[in-house]
Amino acid sequence: MARHLDFRRRKPRRFAAIRPLMLALSVAALLGSAAPGGLMAQDAATLIADRLEIAADTRLIAEGSVEVFYQGRRLTAQRIVFDQTADRLTIEGPIRLTDAEGTTVIVSAQAELAADLTEGILQSARVVLNQQLQMAASQMVRSEGRYLQLDNAIASSCRICEGSPTPLWEIRARRILHDQQEKQIYFDHAQLRMAGVPVLYIPRLRVPDPTLDRSTGFLMPKFTNRTDLGTGLTLPYFVTLGPSRDLTFSPTLTTAGGKTLEMRYRQAFETGSIVLSGAISRDEIQPDDTRGHVVADGLFRLPRDFRLAFHGEAVSDDAYLADYGISDTDRLTNSIQIDRVRRDEYIAARIINFDTLRAGDFPSATPYLVTDATYIRRFQLGSLGGEGTLRFGTHTHTRQSSNPLDGLDADDIAEGADMQRLSIGADWRKDWLTQGGLLVAALGEVRMDSFRISDDATYGGSNTRLSGAAAVEFRWPWLRAGSGGASQVIEPVAQIVWSDDDGATVPNEDSRLVEFDEANLFSLNRFPGNDVVETGLRANLGVSWTRLDPSGWTMGATLGRVFREDPVAAFSTASGLSGSTSDWMFALTAETPGGLDLAGRIIADDDLTVTRGEVLAEYATPDLWLNTGYIWSVADLAESRANAVSDLVIGGGYQISPGWQASASGRYDFEADSYRSADFGLSFKNECLLVDLSLSRRFTSSTTVRPGTTVDLSVELLGFGGGTEAGPARMCRR
């Protein structure tokens, strides 16, 4: 076998006694006739040192900043002696061995290793995995190129300081075995210590190393205290079922005798994914019943840009989700939908099932099965000019009741009314710009809705409604450029609209809640659904103002009102659109470079009596974030609201220090003069530990849900595989 020598030059050290001799050679070239365990030429190792000696007894001695590179591994030391006969390396430190991926670093004072660095003993050794978890022992044995065994060892991912050598947590074990191939760490007779104090003994423990994202095993426990359930302990167990599937079991036991088993199954496919989750419980709230819930979600890509999504959920009783803090929802929704979105086209079809959990609802009188299909196509009109849109839609909803009268909730809708609807419509818009800067637009819309209604004594039968609208719109933007690059735009807008239908009437089920805002001030039809059409001659008038500043300031305001020839009875009082003249709509937005964002809207009549209003504010800096919202609305039975609404919601958080973070939120009902909910959270996170404490209080009650307090505490030791990312490292003070 040919010998191979490779010489490289290095700059001389200033403190060296003699000019260093830099050699880089293939160790295999010196061992061409070595045993099979030795280094072969095709597996050449490169050695770099300040001084190299080839002794008469076939020993290779390298001294001074020695570096060895072999199959991606890198070894640095002060002195290496290679014994050809024994095929062994004797290394004097400080020693540093890094694997090919750079995720494992071994530091030692002295070592005896096989020539290929896969076997041997290291003294005063320390292992660093993925720059997180550290394991240390007086002696470490490396075997089979995959195992690291440390006896009487310590493991921790916490940084220690000179004046405080005790880590926040550490695991002391009689033996630690790291399987680098399977990426697992095994502890024998392990003892968990927090701040040096023993808190838990585990005879055998297995955890994934930090380089592994998913591994079967126990997850960190969680402690919970709830008013009606007592104090509980949850111990999740995660099971990998291959590269694309996993299953999590989370059993919980409480001091009040409750038992819960939560489950979550996830699977990824080439074209999508599914998630199935749920829980089954026995408790003292309903001691004679087995309670639980189940949720299923899926999302898939289909050919030709279509997408399929589904969501399903079921619960044993109306109070289960609230009792266990799972969700505040008061209505379950099961749906399956297929859709496609393109630049000029939208296609969607869905089936929805509703199941109410509200104490005041009548399930038999609530639509439980709804189907919808929509097709929208946008196109350019050649010689006519402008842009047109075609719309096709179908809708059905079904109730369990067959009662043709309105006898339960007085909403003017029969308790058993079922509906099928077919809708076809088209709209058109064309814009012109005059020489004086006036923007003129012409708009038109036609629509046909065909209804078939059953189990309804008032509206039952088949009915077809034709409707159309035409409008002309004038916009006159005024632009002013100020000093410093700031600009202002004032744009008065006037829109004259006429619309009508053939007088056919159907029950209003999908357009009972109408919002009057800057987005629909200049709409041809402000009803959100298809059951009602806005008709008559009207003028939509408004003016907007916008200021843009390169420094980051942005402000905008809109003021508008609607004047009608005749009032539209279908608009509720709370909407601000009833009567011949609507209320004033005023909207304001502002963004500042300092992180403050504001948005507000007020609907008020001529004497400034507010019908509806809301204000939203957000403030965010790197260390502080706040958000608040206030909403006010008058009582209106037409919107199923017997009492006025006056709610304040506020929340925020503060980064107390690089590791500590606090958050709080709450909701207050001014009309009821009572709190509705309050939440508080405190978390600590550094390079090795995550502690999350939350406290929540629900003040409201109903026939199925009582006020309650929930306390959750979770502690996670960071640095192991599949866990949370590490936080900022502990700072050492001098």
Print burial letters for 346-383: b (CB count within 10 Å at least 16), e (below 16).
ebbebbbbbebbeeebeeebbbbebebbbbbeeeeeee
For residue 499, what are the contacts with CB-CB under 8 A and spacing of at least 6? 445, 467, 468, 469, 470, 524, 525, 533, 534, 535, 536
Residue 485 has phi, psi (to 5 degrees) of 90, 0
For the entire predicted model, the pTM comes to 0.82
Contacts of 232 (CB under 8 A, 6+ apart): 223, 224, 225, 226, 252, 253, 254, 255, 258, 260
User: Domain for residue 684, yes or no?
Assistant: no
The answer to whether residue 229 sits within a structural domain is no
Helices (H), 138-291: none
In a domain, 82, yes or no: yes
Degrees to nearest 5, angle at CA 26 with 24 and 32: 155
Instruction: For the chain, give the number of residues.
Output: 734
| Nearest alpha carbon to residue 221 among 239, 203, 206, 234 | 234
Separation between Cα atoms, residue 417 and residue 453, nearest integer Å: 7
Tokens representing residue 675 in the block: 């709190």
Domain at 23, CATH number: 2.60.450
Assigned domain for 17 exists: yes
CA distance 642 to 372: 31
Burial label for 471, CB within 10 Å (0-12, 13-18, 19+), is buried
| Span 400-428, pLDDT tens digits | 988 888 876 656 788 889 999 999 999 99
**pLDDT attached to residue 408:** 61
In a domain, 95, yes or no: yes
φ, ψ for residue 323 (rounded to 5)? -60, -35
**Within 10 A of 177 (CB to CB), how many other CB atoms are there?**
19
Which two tokens mark 141? 């044995």
Whole-number Å distance between alpha carbons of 572 and 53: 97
Rounded to whole angstroms, the Cα distance separating 413 from 278 reads 36
CA dist., res. 459 & res. 413, Å (int): 9
Q: How far apart are CA 668 and CA 630, in angstroms?
A: 10
Q: Pick out the chain residues at pLDDT < 70.
A: 1-44, 117, 408-411, 703-704, 734
Contact 445, 423 (CB under 8 A): no
Burial class (CB in 10 A: 0-12, 13-18, 19+), 95: buried
Q: What is the 3-state secondary structure (H, E, C) of 437-480?
A: CCEEEEEEEEEEEEEEEECCCCCCEEEEEEEEEEEEEEECCEEE
Beta bridge mates, 419: 397, 453
Distance CA 204, CA 564 (A): 80
pLDDT tens for 530-558 read 999 999 999 999 999 999 999 889 999 99
Other CB atoms within 10 A of residue 303 CB = 6
Q: What are the φ and ψ backbone dihedral angles of 444, each rounded to 5 degrees?
A: -150, 155
Phi, psi of 43 (to 5 degrees): -110, 50
What pLDDT, on the 0 to 100 scale, is given for residue 220? 85
Is 412 inside any structural domain?
Answer: no
- Give pLDDT, residue 583: 96
Residue 385 lies in a domain: no
Alpha-carbon span 438 to 432, nearest angstrom = 8
Instruction: Using DSSP, state whether 27 is helix, strand or coil.
Output: helix
Question: Measured between alpha carbons, how far is 421 from 511 in angstroms, rounded to an integer?
Answer: 15
Per-residue pLDDT at 23: 34
Place of tokens 């003069």: 673
Give the containing element (helix H, strand E) for 28: helix 27-30
Q: What is the pLDDT of residue 591?
A: 96
Q: Which residue has the tokens 């088209």?
A: 426
Q: How many other C-beta atoms lie within 10 A of the C-beta of residue 686?
A: 22
Strand partners of residue 390 = 377, 426
**Number of domains making up the chain:** 1
What was the pLDDT predicted at 409?
A: 63
| Residue range of the domain that includes 53 | 1-118
Distance CA 721, CA 183 (A): 9
According to the model, what pLDDT value does residue 33 have?
31
In a domain, 695, yes or no: no
Quick one: pLDDT at residue 39?
A: 41
A 10 A CB-CB count for 117 gives 22
Residues 6+ apart with CB under 8 A from 567: 578, 579, 580
Q: How far is the C-alpha of 57 from the C-alpha of 72, rounded, in Å?
A: 29
Q: How far apart are CA 194 and CA 122, in angstroms?
A: 28
Residue 94: asked if its preceding bond is cis (omega within 30°), the reply is yes
Long-range pairs for 403-411: beta carbons < 8 A, 24 or more residues apart: 403/365, 403/455, 404/455, 404/456, 404/457, 404/460, 405/457, 408/362, 408/365, 409/362, 409/365, 411/640
